[in-house]
Structure 1
Amino acid sequence: MNKIDFKKTLNSYQAKYHEFRMVDVPRLQYLMIDGHGDPNTSQEFKAAIVALYPVAYKLKFASKLELGKDYTVMPLEALWWADDMSTFTTARDKSQWDFTLMIMQPDWITRDMFKAVVEKVADKEPPASLAQVRLETLDEGKSVQTLHVGSFDDEADILAQMHRDFIPANDLTMVGKHHEIYFSDFRKVAPDKLRTILRQPVIKA
């Protein structure tokens, strides 16, 4: 049985360090859970991670056993937004941020499989936020993205270049939400080693 690694097969998971590129992100489905606040201190953020991973891994095992399809569990991702988007590039006031944490799922994962797995997770010390996890599709389409290496607190400059320089210079307008893909486990990896795709959906101005 071949194990699929979607990080290698999907173009939307490819990026180079601080090089802006246009990508057409296909419609994908994700495990999702919403929350609010500074990810460094928010209990909602920590609880969301604890709720997502048991479901993601049990879905992988169910896919392998029931469908004969194996794949690598995808990295954690997040959509971020705020009433004032300048909090991402200037003040960096993380207490004002809202988020949706996500883990991408193959298109053969059905809603029935998801429901069955959630019930199994609930049988054994269910995470406090388990009931908030959902399976939902996201269609971002045309987007600008780059790879950032380093601390999350050092993202402001490259995001400012993306938002204020590259996007307007290419006659584009930002739509949707700021999207981050975490190739590193920020609970274990040193801040200066973190590898993160920064993505912004756009449309022609």
Structure 2
Amino acid sequence: MTTKVDFRKALDAYQAQQGRFRVVDVPDLTYLMIDGHGDPNTSAAFGEAVRTLYPVAYKLKFASRRELGRDYVVPPLEGLWWAEEMASFTAARDKSRWDWTLMLMVPAWISHPLVSTAIEQVRAKDAPARLPDVRLETLSEGRCVQTLHVGSFDDEADVLAHLHHEVIPELGFRMTGIHHEIYLSDFRRVTPERRRTILRQPVTVGAVHGGWGRGA
């Protein structure tokens, strides 16, 4: 019987505790990705991105088990979030100004041809609206600071402010890269107060405050 890999248990990068801020060296990981903009609560593109990523991810999982003899649990949904003004996340929370990339991690053994085949299989059955926008890309984050948030997404602001303005400077780091969230709970099914989300911020050595943009 094929052993099924659960990356939530196998990768240290998926480990976090509420109230604890960990420094984690995240390995390069490969994801199915779709980009978008706007309030995730009202943007049609956001829901379409979620409904597009999962069918492709499951086609890949089944192909991996069938053709490669390697089975795995589809990892949780993840998101990169950024805006021109960081206050859009921690103070004003103006979600209409947010840019995002939704992602589902795939194992390193998944090839581009396998992804292309999976996309064509999804297209042949009932093509989701954002299917042409799916891409396979490797994310290199390196050193990060992360914690577990339990509760509504709207209650993240205080945790993020503490992380950005106190924890990271006190550790001798500055922010770089993009704010990253890992949705351990399926927010389509779990009530807001029970949602478990890893909040991750890539960092580098230095006391100067960094940015949020892709090139930061």
Q: Kindly report which structure 2 residues correspond to 1:1-205, keeping only aligned pairs within 5 A, or say none.
A: 1-205=2-206
* SS in structure 2 at match of 1:127: coil
* SS in structure 1 at match of 2:81: strand
* SS in structure 1 at match of 2:126: coil
Aligned equivalents of 2:19, 2:91: Cα separation in 1? 19
Structure 1: 5+ residue stretches without partners = none
* SS in structure 1 at match of 2:52: helix
TM-aligned CA deviation for residue 124 of structure 1 = 1.2
Asked if 2 retains the 8 angstrom alpha-carbon contact of 1:31 and 1:134, the reply is: yes
* Number of the residue aligned with 2:214: none
Percentage of pairs with the same residue: 61
TM-aligned CA deviation for residue 18 of structure 1 = 2.1
Aligned equivalents of 1:196, 1:74: Cα separation in 2? 13
TM-aligned CA deviation for residue 162 of structure 1 = 0.2
Q: Structure 1 counterpart of 2:160, which letter?
A: L
Write the deviation string for residues 66-122 of structure 1: whole angstroms up to 9, x where unpaired: 000000000000000000011111011110000000000000000000001101111
Asked if 2 retains the 8 angstrom alpha-carbon contact of 1:22 and 1:145, the reply is: yes
Asked if 2 retains the 8 angstrom alpha-carbon contact of 1:144 and 1:199, the reply is: yes
Aligned equivalents of 1:201, 1:112: Cα separation in 2? 31
Aligned equivalents of 2:88, 2:129: Cα separation in 1? 29
Aligned equivalents of 2:173, 2:67: Cα separation in 1? 44
Q: CA RMSD in A?
A: 0.5
Q: Structure 2 counterpart of 1:200, which letter?
A: Q
* SS in structure 2 at match of 1:197: strand
Asked if 2 retains the 8 angstrom alpha-carbon contact of 1:16 and 1:146, the reply is: yes
- TM-score, structure 1 length as denominator? 0.99
Q: Structure 1 counterpart of 2:54, which letter?
A: Y
Q: Structure 2 counterpart of 1:61, which letter?
A: F
Q: Structure 1 counterpart of 2:159, which letter?
A: I
Aligned equivalents of 1:105, 1:187: Cα separation in 2? 21
Aligned equivalents of 1:9, 1:187: Cα separation in 2? 25
